[in-house]
Structure formats: C-alpha cells, structure tokens
C-alpha cells in the first residue's frame, strides 16, 4: 500500500515521538527542518489557547525555511491527542488541529471517536494510533485510523511488554497500511532493522531528549547520557499505565525503584494535572545506553542518516 503523501519525501523514515513536556516548538521545528516528522503532545501547550499560537508560529517558521531552502526536505508536523476521559481539552485541541490542518494526528490510549476521525479526514489529515497489543491494534483499525504506531518493549514512557518482532509480525498478518515501530531505536542501524522486520518508520523518542533543542533540564539530559538499559524501570505507578522511567529520577523523588507499588489503573490521569509526574519522574527507553552526547537535532539526524546508509550498504554486499 502506498504511503500517505504526508509521510513521503523524508530525509529518513523517522517520526519523532511526542514527549510530554520535552517536545516543544524548538524541538519540533528542528526535527521538521532536518527532514523527519516532528511532533508534540497538544497538552504541552499550556494554557490551551497557546496551542493555536504554537501551530501558527511553527507553520510560518517552516514555510519561511522552505522558501529560503527550496531544495530542502522539510518534514510535516504531527500533534498527539490523548483520547481519555481525564483529558478535558480533547475537543478544543482537535478543533485547533483542524483549523490549522495539521497533516498527522497521533492518537493515544483509546481509539479516536468517529467525529474526531471525520474532522481530521475532512481536510486530508491522517491519524496514526499508538498500540501496545494486537487487541488494541484491531480495535483502532475497526474505528478507522489510517496507521498504527507499535510501541514495543523497551520504548520510553508508556510502553508495551511485547517484543518488536512479535508485535510487527502479527500486525502485518492483517494490516498493510502505514506502521511505525518504537522501542529502543537510537541508531541508523536500528531504523533499517525496523524496516527489515516490516515497519515503514522508526518512531524515536528518547534520543531527542539528549539534544540541545529538547525542553528538559540539564540534569535530565545528563541522566540520559549517563544511563544504560539497566537504569530503566518499568512500572505503572505514576500514571496507572506501565511505562519506562529513569531510575535516577525515581530515587531523586524519594522512592525505592526496586520496591515500587502497583498503581490502581482505574485512577489513570492524563489531563492537565498530570504534568508534575512527568516533570519529576523522567521517561526514557532502554536505548539510553547508545546515547553518549548532546548534539543538535540537525547533527543527530545527519548521524542517523550516515549510520542508516552504511547499514544498507553492508547488507547490499
């Protein structure tokens, strides 16, 4: 199946995943200018009225950049929408995305309702939905989403327990549309590996945390660079949904990372009040062991491209 126009003509088959707090206009603009999909959660724009400003400014910045660099590949903007009853901004934020005709919407947690899909499809936008299991994938496709983002074991933030090999392999039995894969992808070799197993795109998050444009503290960046896979803790304590977090931030919060209690899933919260958990407890994936410096986004994309091309050349021998 041909890829949607919004996902064609990229420098690399990469979607920058939307990271709560960390993904702001500077990071998104840098990702798009480097030729990959740049994304951010709608909830990062606070108060809600700021979302209109962010989208207006990002569209102008990218349009001006394209005009000044007519030969450059400029990636599209994607906005993440949390489809959950605790998100009291969903209707407003979707309306803003429709107003600005955001080309890609990334929906999370629950399959988007028909009225949301219809609104996005009305101007040619597409919806990619986060899933961690086959059941979630099937439900999202039944709802009418255009593509799937497979959040496999090892991904930063909310992540599933399944191996990427198992998740991609089973999804490809029944779905032949756009698929992105997430889970410890931090090098160009891993991007090619994701394609080799059946995904169209790599969905990369944690690698952008340790870039100069990410909206995180220097302490957070340093923790990424200093950590390895063994420093990632998988727990549902902080939001009610299992996710991967940096051990150092859990210790800094006065908790024992080796003795965390289970959370009550019925008390999940993803609205405006959940910012503190993500500000103090730092999400990160198991790929942090491959992150040893803090480049700019442009430098990182150039490195990934070099590694990706080198890996393709090796396999062609």
Three-state SS annotation for 150-203: EECCCCCEECCCCCHHHHHHHHCCCCCCCEEEECCCCCHHHHHHHHHCCCCEEE
Whether residues 136 and 263 share a domain: the answer is no
Counted domains in the chain: 2
Whether residues 14 and 150 share a domain: the answer is yes
The burial class, CB within 10 Å (0-12 / 13-18 / 19+), for 248 is buried
Q: How many residues does the chain have?
A: 317
Residue 14 in tokens: 């990469």
Q: For residue 240, tell me if it sits in a domain.
A: yes
Query: In sequence order, what DSSP letters do the residues of the chain get, joined into one string?
Result: -PPPGGGSS-SSSEEEPP-TTT--HHHHHHHHHTTSBEEEEGGGSSSTTHHHHHHHHHHHHHHHHHHH-TTS--PPEEEEEE-STT-TTHHHHHHHHHHTT-SEEEEESSPPPHHHHHHHHTTT-EEEEEESSHHHHHHHHHHT-SEEEEE-TT-SEE--SS-HHHHHHHHTTT--S-EEEESS--SHHHHHHHHHTT-SEEEE-HHHHTSTTSSS-HHHHHHHHH--GGGEEEESTTTSS-EEEEHHHHHHTT--TTSPPPP-GGG---SGGGHHHHHHS-B--GGGGG------HHHHHHHHHHHHHHHHHHHH-
What pLDDT was estimated at residue 5? 87
Q: For residue 194, tell me if it sits in a domain.
A: yes
Per-residue model confidence as pLDDT tens digits over 46-69: 999 999 999 999 999 999 999 999
The answer on pLDDT for 273 being more than 50 is no
Whether residues 205 and 268 share a domain: the answer is no
Range of the domain at 26: 5-216+295-316
Per-residue model confidence as pLDDT tens digits over 188-201: 999 999 999 999 99
Angstrom distance (rounded) from CA 48 to CA 101: 17
Determine what percent of the chain is predicted with pLDDT higher than 90.
83
The answer on pLDDT for 132 being more than 90 is yes
What pLDDT was estimated at residue 71? 93
Crossing angle of helices 114-121 and 90-99, in 10° steps, is 10
CATH code for position 191: 3.20.20.70
Whether residues 190 and 158 share a domain: the answer is yes
Model-level pTM greater than 0.75? yes
- Which whole number is the average pLDDT over 272-293? 80
What pLDDT was estimated at residue 224? 95
Q: For residue 290, tell me if it sits in a domain.
A: no
Q: For residue 81, tell me if it sits in a domain.
A: yes
Q: What is the mean pLDDT of the chain?
A: 93
Whether residues 108 and 224 share a domain: the answer is no
Per-residue model confidence as pLDDT tens digits over 232-268: 999 988 888 889 999 999 999 899 998 888 876 555 5
Question: Are 136 and 156 in contact, with CB atoms under 8 Å apart?
Answer: no
Whether residues 171 and 198 share a domain: the answer is yes
């Amino acid at each position: 199946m041909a890829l949607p126009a919004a996902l064609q003509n990229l420098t690399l088959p990469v979607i920058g995943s939307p990271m709560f707090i960390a993904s702001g206009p500077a990071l998104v603009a840098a990702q798009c200018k480097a030729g990959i999909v740049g994304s951010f959660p709608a909830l990062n724009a606070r108060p809600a009225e700021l979302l209109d400003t962010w989208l207006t400014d990002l569209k102008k910045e990218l349009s001006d950049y394209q005009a000044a660099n007519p030969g450059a590949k400029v990636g599209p903007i994607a906005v993440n929408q949390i489809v959950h009853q605790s998100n009291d901004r969903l209707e407003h934020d979707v309306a803003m995305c429709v107003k600005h005709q955001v080309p890609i919407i990334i929906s999370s947690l629950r399959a988007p309702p028909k009225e949301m899909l219809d609104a996005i499809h009305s101007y040619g936008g597409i919806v990619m939905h986060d899933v961690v299991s086959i059941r979630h994938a099937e439900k999202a496709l039944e709802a009418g989403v255009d593509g799937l983002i497979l959040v496999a074991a090892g991904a930063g933030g909310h992540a599933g327990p399944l191996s990427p090999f198992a998740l991609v392999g089973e999804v490809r039995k029944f779905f032949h549309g756009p698929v992105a894969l997430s889970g410890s992808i931090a090098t160009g070799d891993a991007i090619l590996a994701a394609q080799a197993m059946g995904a169209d795109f790599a969905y990369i998050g944690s690698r952008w945390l340790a870039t100069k444009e990410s909206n995180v503290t220097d302490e957070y960046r340093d923790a990424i660079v200093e950590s390895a896979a063994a420093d990632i803790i998988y727990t549902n304590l902080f939001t009610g949904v299992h996710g991967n977090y940096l051990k150092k931030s859990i210790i800094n919060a006065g908790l024992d990372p080796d003795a965390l209690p289970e959370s009550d899933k019925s008390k999940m919260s993803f609205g405006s009040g959940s910012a503190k958990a993500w500000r103090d407890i730092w999400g990160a994936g198991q790929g942090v062991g491959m992150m040893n410096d803090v480049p700019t986004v442009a430098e990182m994309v150039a490195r990934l491209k070099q590694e990706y091309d080198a890996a393709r050349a090796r396999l062609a021998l």
